[in-house]
Amino acid sequence: MTDENALAQRIEATRNELATHLAVSGAGTQIVLCPSGTDAQLRALCIVRALLGGPLTSIVVASDETGSGTALAITGRHFNTQTASGQTVGKGEPVPGFEKWVSRVDVATLGPGGRKRDVAAIDHEVIDATATAIRDGRKVLLLSMDCSKLGHRYPSEACLRTIAERWPSAVQIVVDACQLRLSRERLARYLASGAIVLITGSKFFTGPPFSGAMIVPPSFSVALSGSVNVPPGLSLYSNRNDWPMQWANMRGQLPNECNIGQWLRWEAALAEMGAYFAVPQEFRAYALDHFGRRCGRLVDDNGFELLEADLHDTGNANDDSEFAARTIFPFVARYGGHPLPLSAAIGLYRALNCDVSGRLPPGASAEEKALAAMPCHIGQPVAIRTQHGAETGALRISADARFVSRSWGRSHEDGCGRLNSGCEHVWQIVRKASLLVHHQISL
Ligand SMILES: Cc1ncc(COP(=O)(O)O)c(C=O)c1O
């Protein structure tokens, strides 16, 4: 076997291992590896274009709670100045093959104060946008959200069902599950319904940044293993080894290269997944629930404003498994009674990550200095509007797979002790944030 073939086989094995962890192996489900969640969105567009034809409208649900590059990627535009394969491109310019092809409708989901808009209103807007696009002779890529940076899920399942039933050959649902905070049962149900699902190994599963994937349901496997027109610009982003062996025609249109870094990042993410799924389900559920109850209280008790969650409005909460627990805790910091402006929230986020003990006033205690020196890594602020229309940033503390797998010992009792020390770190994060806000320290 040549080195090239050996590498191709090894990457196919990585895809298979990912499928096994997520319990989607067999029955024709295929996985495409991507450098990031945003890259996965661009690839989904390629697939939907191949399946439905065009012209196409991408409807982006929760456009205000997703990745910053989504608006460009999902319309076939370069979403940065450099692609994953190192090509310099014009950010915002069309990727070759998508010129004049795709329009976009954004459905924002946050109201004033970062509160969720009424789900019925969101559903209505999504159905309306779909009907309008189809009336105008367009096909629709519906990017639905499960779940967003703030932990929300939209539109409702009833809405997705209505759309799938009313326009079966004109709409393709693509679920943005890049946070990968959903149960394997739920993932299986999306695939069984014919939805394409986008994931990453870098968020809940704490793999290195830049590890994305697209999961394509069995219903499309045959169509995509035949002759498919790949937009020429996809070669700037992807190579044949990202794509499943079965899709030989598609692979043949892409460079015969390999993104070694992407493959290795996925290997690291798979190690985290393996460790997480090795933990008994009961303990996983207990740990995430425990984190949720402690984290919510700690954020509240330290004077921060916790944003509401309420994501389980789908009528199918019983297939959420351990993800029935809330795992993302967004909160707003205030100074002098007012929410911090977005730039100050970003500065606070940066200061949390660094040793800022030197910025404390001279009379600071040893405990305060130790706290200020501690690196506290949390989610980047998400821009939201306050009740009065000003822009602030919601900081985010999240539970992740490593919190669960590192807590697990040989027994439940053993694990519970370690859960408490994991939660201790959350306490340190909120105390440091509170100290920095008090002394107005940001970077
Ligand atoms: C819901 C959601 N979708 C997509 C993305 C984009 O993923 P990536 O940062 O890997 O490009 C993000 C990033 O945070 C996200 O939260």
Q: What is the pTM of this model?
A: 0.95
Distance between CA 132 and CA 107 in Å, rounded?
A: 14
Distance between CA 191 and CA 186 in Å, rounded?
A: 9
SS3 content of the chain, % helix, strand, coil (to 5): 45, 15, 35
Question: Which is nearest to 90 in space by CA: 100, 98, 80?
Answer: 80
Distance between CA 101 and CA 379 in Å, rounded?
A: 34
178 close to ligand 1 (CB < 6 Angstrom):
yes
- Closest ligand 1 atom to the C-alpha of 148? 1
Pocket test for ligand 1, best of 60, 147, 179, 380 (most atoms within 8 A of CB): 179
| Centre of ligand 1 from the C-alpha of residue 410, in Å | 34
Distance between CA 42 and CA 37 in Å, rounded?
A: 9
SS3 144: strand
- Closest ligand 1 atom to the C-alpha of 149? 16
* Residue 30: predicted pLDDT: 96
Q: What is the DSSP string of 164-213?
A: HHH-TTTEEEEEE-TT--S-HHHHHHHHHTT-EEEEESSSTT-PPSS-EE
Q: What is the DSSP string of 17-73?
A: HHHHHTT--STT-EEEEESSHHHHHHHHHHHHHHHH-SSEEEEEETTTSS-TTHHHH
Q: Are 111 and 98 in contact (CB under 8 A)?
A: no
* Residue 2: predicted pLDDT: 80
176 close to ligand 1 (CB < 6 Angstrom):
yes
Q: What is the DSSP string of 223-267?
A: HHHS-----GGGGGT--GGGS-TT-HHHHHTS-S---HHHHHHHH
| Centre of ligand 1 from the C-alpha of residue 418, in Å | 30
* Residue 318: predicted pLDDT: 66
Distance between CA 246 and CA 27 in Å, rounded?
A: 13
**pLDDT tens, N- to C-terminus, the chain (443 residues):** 787 788 999 999 999 999 999 999 877 999 999 999 999 999 999 999 999 998 999 999 999 999 999 999 999 999 999 998 889 999 999 999 988 789 999 999 998 878 889 999 999 999 999 999 999 999 999 999 999 999 999 999 999 999 999 999 999 999 999 999 999 999 999 999 999 999 999 999 999 999 999 999 998 988 898 888 899 999 999 999 999 999 999 999 999 999 999 999 999 999 999 999 999 999 999 999 999 999 988 998 888 988 876 654 544 556 789 999 999 999 999 988 899 999 999 999 999 999 999 999 999 999 999 999 999 999 999 999 888 888 999 999 999 999 999 999 877 788 888 898 888 999 999 999 999 999 999 88
233 close to ligand 1 (CB < 6 Angstrom):
no
* Residue 314: predicted pLDDT: 46
Q: Is 137 exposed, middle or buried (0-12, 13-18, 19+ CB in 10 A)?
A: exposed
Question: Which is nearest to 408 in space by CA: 272, 270, 280, 273?
Answer: 280
Phi/psi of residue 420, nearest 5 degrees = -65, -35
Give the closest residue (by CA) to ligand 1 atom 7: 37
* Residue 113: predicted pLDDT: 79
Question: Which is nearest to 270 in space by CA: 7, 15, 43, 6?
Answer: 15
Phi/psi of residue 397, nearest 5 degrees = -110, 130
* Residue 54: predicted pLDDT: 83
* Residue 204: predicted pLDDT: 98
Instruction: Please give the structure tokens belonging to residue 117.
Output: 């808009």
| Centre of ligand 1 from the C-alpha of residue 179, in Å | 7
The CA-to-CA distance between both ends of the chain, in Å, stands at 53
- Closest ligand 1 atom to the C-alpha of 65? 1
Question: Which is nearest to 271 in space by CA: 400, 399, 402?
Answer: 402
Residue carrying the six token digits 């929760």: 62
Distance between CA 50 and CA 43 in Å, rounded?
A: 11
| Centre of ligand 1 from the C-alpha of residue 27, in Å | 28
| Centre of ligand 1 from the C-alpha of residue 176, in Å | 8
For helices 412-438 and 366-373, angle between their N-to-C axes, nearest 10 degrees: 100
